[in-house]
Amino acid sequence: MSRLINILGYIGRSANSFFSRLTRMTALGENAIYWVIVAPFKGKGIRWKSTIHQMVLIGFNSIPIVVVICFFVGLILAMQSAYQLERFGASIYVADLVGVAITREMGPLLTAIIVTGRSGSAIAAEIGTMKVYEEIDALQTMGLNPVRFLVVPRLIALLVMLPCLTLIADFVGIAGGLTLATLNLKISFVRYLTQTANALVLKDLITGLAKTIVFAIIIAQIGSYQGFSVEGGAEGVGKATTAAVVSSIFLIIVADLVCTIFFYSTL
Amino acid sequence: MTQPIIEIINLVTYYDSRKILDGINLQIYPGETVTILGRSGCGKSTLLRHIVGLSHPTDGQILIKGSDITRLNEEQRLPTLKKIGMLFQSSALFNSMTVGDNVALPLREHTHLEEPTIQIMTRMKLDQVGLSGFEDFMPAQLSGGMKKRAALARAIAMDPDILFCDEPSAGLDPIVAVGIDQLIMKLKKAFKMTIVVVTHELASVFQIADRVALMDKGKIIAIGTPDDFKNSDNETISQFFNRIPDPENIDKQEYLNSLIGNSK
Please list the pLDDT of chain A residue by residue as tens digits (267 residues).
788 889 999 999 999 888 988 888 888 888 888 888 887 787 777 888 889 999 999 999 999 999 999 999 999 999 999 988 888 888 888 899 999 999 999 999 999 999 999 999 999 999 999 999 989 999 999 988 899 899 999 999 999 999 999 999 999 999 999 999 998 888 888 999 999 999 888 888 899 999 999 999 999 999 999 999 998 888 999 999 999 999 999 999 999 999 999 887 765
Q: Do B88 and A143 touch (CB under 8 A)?
A: no
ipTM of the complex: 0.85
B21 pLDDT higher than 90: no
Beta bridge partners of B37: B199, B214
| A138 and chain B in contact, CB less than 8 A | yes
| A149 and chain B in contact, CB less than 8 A | no
Task: Report which of residues B228 and A100 the model is more confident about.
Answer: A100
B243 pLDDT higher than 90: no
Beta bridge partners of B215: B38, B220
Q: Pick A143's closest partner by Cβ from B90, B92, B110.
A: B110
pLDDT tens readout for residues B165-206: 998 887 788 888 888 888 888 888 888 889 999 988 887 888
Scanning every residue of chain A, which has its alpha carbon at the shortest distance from the alpha carbon of B73? A143
Strand pairing of B33-38 and B211-216? parallel
How much of chain B, in percent, has pLDDT values that exceed 90? 18
Q: From the CA of B168, how many Å to the nearest CA of chain A?
A: 14
CA distances from B63 to A104, B196, B239 (A): 59, 15, 32
Q: How far apart are CA B30 and CA B69, in angstroms?
A: 18
CA distances from B53 to A127, A175, B49, B78, B143 (A): 20, 56, 6, 11, 29
CA distances from B215 to A98, B2, B26, B69 (A): 71, 25, 11, 22
pTM: predicted TM-score of the whole model, two decimal places: 0.86
Whole-number pLDDT of residue A78: 92
**Which of A204, A220, A205, A206 has its CA nearest to residue A252?**
A220
pLDDT tens readout for residues B35-67: 998 888 788 888 898 998 888 888 888 888 888
**Which of A94, A128, A104, A144 has its CA nearest to residue A232?**
A128
Domain boundaries, chain B: 6-83+162-259, 93-159
Q: What is the 3-state secondary structure (H, E, C) of A136-150?
A: HHHHHHCCCCHHHHH
Q: Do A138 and B106 touch (CB under 8 A)?
A: no
- Identify all chain A residues contacting B52, using CB atoms and an 8 Å cutoff: 141
Whole-number pLDDT of residue B263: 53
Mapped onto helix, strand or coil, the DSSP state of residue B23 is: strand
Cα dihedral: A133, A135, A136, A138 (round 10): 130
Q: Pick B92's closest partner by Cβ from A137, A143, A145.
A: A137
Q: Which residues of A3-12 are buried (b: 16+ CB within 10 A; e: fewer)?
A: eeeeeeeeee
Whole-number pLDDT of residue A185: 84
**Which of B152, B172, B182, B247 has its CA nearest to residue B33?**
B182
Beta bridge partners of B63: B7, B68
Confidence of residue B249 (pLDDT cuts 50, 70, 90): low
Neighbours of B45 (CB within 10 A): 16
**Left, alpha or beta for A24 (phi > 0: left; psi -120 to 50: alpha)?**
alpha
Q: Do B105 and A142 touch (CB under 8 A)?
A: yes
Neighbours of B109 (CB within 10 A): 17
Q: Do B105 and A137 touch (CB under 8 A)?
A: no
Q: At CB < 8 A and 24+ separation, what contacts does A78-81 make?
A: A78/A176, A78/A177, A78/A179, A78/A180, A78/A181, A78/A185, A79/A180, A79/A184
Q: Pick B90's closest partner by Cβ from A133, A142, A144.
A: A133
Q: From the CA of A171, how many Å to the nearest CA of chain B?
A: 35
Whole-number pLDDT of residue A119: 93
pLDDT tens readout for residues B98-150: 999 999 999 988 888 889 999 999 999 898 888 888 889 999 998 888 899 89
Average pLDDT over residues B224-228: 83
Domain boundaries, chain A: 48-266
- The end-to-end CA distance of chain A, in Å, is 55
Whole-number pLDDT of residue A176: 93
Are the CB atoms for B42 and B215 separated by under 8 Å? yes
Which CATH number is associated with domain B6-83+162-259? 3.40.50.300
| A257 and chain B in contact, CB less than 8 A | no
pLDDT tens readout for residues B80-95: 888 899 999 888 899 8
